[in-house]
A and B are shown apart, each in its own frame.
With several copies, the nearest count.
Chain A
Amino acid sequence: MVSKFLELPQAIESYVKSGDLIAMEGFTHLIPFAAGHEIIRQKVKDLTAVRLTPDLIYDQMIGAGCIKKLIFSWGGNPGVGSLHRFRDAYQNGWPNKIEIEEHTHAGLTNRYVAGASGIGFAVLKGYSGSDLGEHTKNVSEVKSPFSDEVLTAVAAINPDVTILHAQQADKAGNVMMWGITGVAKEAVFAASKVIVTVEEVVEKFSPKFSSMIIPSNLIDAISVVPNGAWPSYASDFYERDNNQYIAWDEISKEREIFSKWLDDEIYSKSTAGKK
């Protein structure tokens, strides 16, 4: 297998630096939790972290003090409620104050599109009528050179590193994912470095509906981490562990319980997904 196959700790150590702009994508599906936990374990700090839906993964990283700024468009525990560690950091500065930059899904999606396209901005109809525009950087307007039309412009986002989880890699280091892929493709093309954790390595991909192949030359490191998206899901591998999402509400509510969780489940364990 080609040399970009690395153990997860080595992949994170090689390509994630404190202070980076990091994107960890996966819309409900294929969220790279194992990679997030390894980032916590390596005590990476001061990340500007972008993700449409921060979800538990960024709540955990915020609680662990990895993140100084969050760029997002929907910040909840999907199907459950609030992200308590995010709220505690944002409202009370624990463990550190975090800055936020908030978008709509359409807007943040198009920031990735512009980043992937290698241009400084994308145009869309967006944010209009919302108070969000007043509070959000990197959103502006452009007038059409062809008519009176005025469109919203959003600035490109270009992560230093994008991290994804996918179902499969082949031995040449190409990656295949299927099911909900969200903005995965755009997050890859927008980034300087790309790390992908995968469920398994196969000889040869077989066709799947709604699938997408990420060629190896777009990827810097691949780590084989079965269950690496747990407690989110990996289509055709395992389902979302909804009980964990519900349990997180309790774990994350109090700093003490969260800190114990961090010690027990992250710091005192080594990498690899659960089970």
Chain B
Amino acid sequence: MSENLNSTWTADEMMTIAAARTLKDGNTCFVGIGIPSTAAILAKSMQAPNLFLIYESGTVNTNPQKLPLSIGDGELANHALTVVSMPEIFNYWLQSGRIDVGFLGAAQIDKFANINTTFIGQTYDSPKVRLPGAGGATEIAASCKEVAIIIRQTTRTFVKQVDFITSMGFGEGPGSRAKNRLRGGGPSRVITDLGILEPDPETLELTMTYLHPGVDIDQAIENTGWELKVSPNLKTTKAPEQSELEKVRALVSTSDK
């Protein structure tokens, strides 16, 4: 993790705050565990108090008061409007296309925002590193109206070709999602510790549209395993406000870990 020496916040804090800011109040958000969950819970204490959080464990409209360690944490169940079965979560809530935003992490991502959470290495049968696998991610990536991905930007994570497509972003570019009969709109942004990438409206290739304060574009290029496209209108993310930093720190401090 890179540390921004010129600022009073960590890169992870910036990433989490930037991700939280993208969530609209009143939206439904299907949340993956880890930083996506931290960002989504943070958003509820910021601009999106009525963000409707759903986790694959079946917790519906949950308002956790501390960070869950896992997707099925008691904290999520105890503060949920209701808890439903997993068939209901996957078939009625997710597959039906009614979720606004899916919020995912990843181990690897490529320029079309295809995601790998299955293995690192050459072959499925003899992986170098075996990762947990799909969980809910494949169908979250397929079905939500849009998908946001949170991932630290390094040449290990931002790769020319993912070793395995666990969850499709834009496949090989325009047309791939339709060909694969994916219901949702696909990735709308990738939030990293260096900035934000958005798909080019025409090519769908991830394009750096924001750099976080104190990050320069060479840093982003160096940490990307493909020839990074940069927006001609490259902007700087608004620096974290003191209140945002207080909220993210308070939240992270609740973690049991």
- Are the chains A and B members of one assembly? yes
- A75 pairs with B133, CB closer than 8 A: yes
Residue contact A217 to B86, C-beta cutoff 8 Å: no
B3 contact set on A, CB distance < 8 A? none
Alpha-carbon distance A78/B84, docked complex (angstroms) = 20
**A127-B138 in contact (CB<8A):** yes
Question: Quick check: is A130 within 8 A (CB to CB) of the other chain?
Answer: yes
Question: Given that A125-B181, A129-B142 are known contacts, is A118 also in contact with B96, CB under 8 Å in the complex?
Answer: yes
A182-B57 in contact (CB<8A) = yes
Q: Which of B65-73, B223-231, B244-252 is the contact stretch?
A: B65-73
Q: Mark out the residues of chain B between 60 and 117 whose CB falls within 8 Å of any chain A CB in the assembled complex.
A: 60-61, 69-74, 76-78, 80-88, 90-98
Task: From B77, B98, B164, give the contact of A210 (CB < 8 A).
Answer: B77
- Complex-state Cα separation, A109 to B87, whole angstroms: 6
Cα distance A87–B72 in the bound complex, in angstroms? 23
- Residue B97 contacts which of A118, A124, A233 (CB distance < 8 angstroms)? A118
List of A residues within 8 angstroms of B24 by Cβ: none
Residues of A within 8 A of B126 (CB): 91
CA of A144 to CA of B94, assembled, Å: 21
In-complex Cβ contact of B86 among A109, A126, A131, A135 (8 A):
A109
> How many A-B contacts are there with CB distance less than 8 Å?
211
Q: How far is the CA of A186 from the CA of B58 in the complex (A)?
A: 14
Query: Does B173 reach chain A (CB closer than 8 Å)?
Result: no
- Return the contact of A106 from the options B72, B90, B171 (Cβ within 8 A): B90
Chain B residue contacts of A110, Cβ below 8 A: 87, 90-91
Q: How large is the interface on A (under 10, 10 to 19, 20 to 34, 35 or more residues)?
A: 35 or more
Cβ-neighbour of B182 out of A52, A129, A189 (below 8 A):
A129
In the complex, which residues of chain A have a beta carbon less than 8 angstroms from the beta carbon of B141? 129
A240 touches B52 (CB 8 A): no
- A104 and B168 in contact (CB under 8 A), knowing A125-B181, A129-B180, A179-B77? no
Quote the shortest CB–CB distance from A219 to chain B (angstroms): 13
Given known contacts A103-B134, A128-B168, A27 and B72 CB-to-CB distance under 8 angstroms = yes
B133/A74 in contact, CB under 8 A: yes
With A109-B87, A126-B139, A130-B167 given, is the CB distance from A215 to B77 under 8 Å? no
Query: Does B13 belong to the interface (CB within 8 Å)?
Result: no
- CB <8 Å contact, B57 and A215: no
B16 within 8 A of A: no
Q: Could you mark each residue 46-87 of chain A with 1 if its beta carbon is under 8 Å from any beta carbon of chain B, else 0?
A: 000000110000000000000000001111101100100011
A189 lies within 8 A of B70 (CB): no
| Number of interface residues, chain B, beta carbon within 8 A | 68
Interface residue? A199 (CB, 8 A)? no
Contact residue among A72, A106, A189 (Cβ-Cβ distance under 8 Å from B133): A72
- Decide if A183 is an interface residue (CB 8 Å cutoff): yes
Among A104, A128, A182, the residue within 8 A (CB) of B58 is: A182
With A82-B130, A102-B133, A182-B57 known as contacts, the answer to whether A117 contacts B95 (CB < 8 A) is yes
Question: Complex Cα distance A139/B255, Å?
Answer: 38
Task: Assess the B77–A109 pair: CB atoms within 8 A.
Answer: no
B135 CB–A CB distance under 8 Å: yes
Q: How far is the CB of A55 from chain B (nearest CB, A)?
A: 9
Q: When the two chains form their complex, are residues B74 and A242 in contact, meaning their CB atoms are under 8 A apart? A: no
Write the B121-149 contact mask toward A (1 if CB under 8 angstroms, else 0): 00010110011111111110111000000
Interchain CB contact under 8 A, A78 and B71: yes
Partner of A180, one of B58, B88, B143: B58
CB-CB under 8 A for A78 and B180, given A109-B90, A213-B82, A215-B82: no
Known pairs A29-B72, A91-B127, A110-B87; A116 contacts B96 (CB<8 A): yes
Q: A45 at interface (Cβ–Cβ under 8 A)? A: no
Complex CA–CA separation, A185 to B88 (angstroms): 10
Is residue B219 contacting chain A, with contact meaning CB distance below 8 A? Answer: no
Binding site for A on B (CB under 8 A): 26, 28, 33, 52, 56-61, 69-74, 76-78, 80-88, 90-98, 118, 124, 126-127, 130-139, 141-143, 164-168, 171, 176-177, 180-183, 256-257
Query: 23 pairs across A/B with beta carbons < 8 Å?
Result: A73-B134, A74-B135, A78-B71, A79-B33, A102-B133, A109-B86, A116-B96, A117-B92, A119-B95, A125-B95, A130-B134, A130-B167, A131-B165, A132-B166, A179-B74, A179-B78, A183-B85, A185-B92, A189-B98, A215-B52, A235-B77, A242-B69, A242-B257
Since A72-B133, A117-B95 are in contact, a sample of 4 more A-B pairs with Cβ atoms closer than 8 Å, ordered by chain A residue number, is A28-B73, A124-B90, A131-B166, A185-B85
Top 8 nearest A-B pairs by Cβ distance? Answer: A28-B72, A129-B168, A118-B96, A76-B132, A78-B70, A74-B135, A79-B69, A210-B83
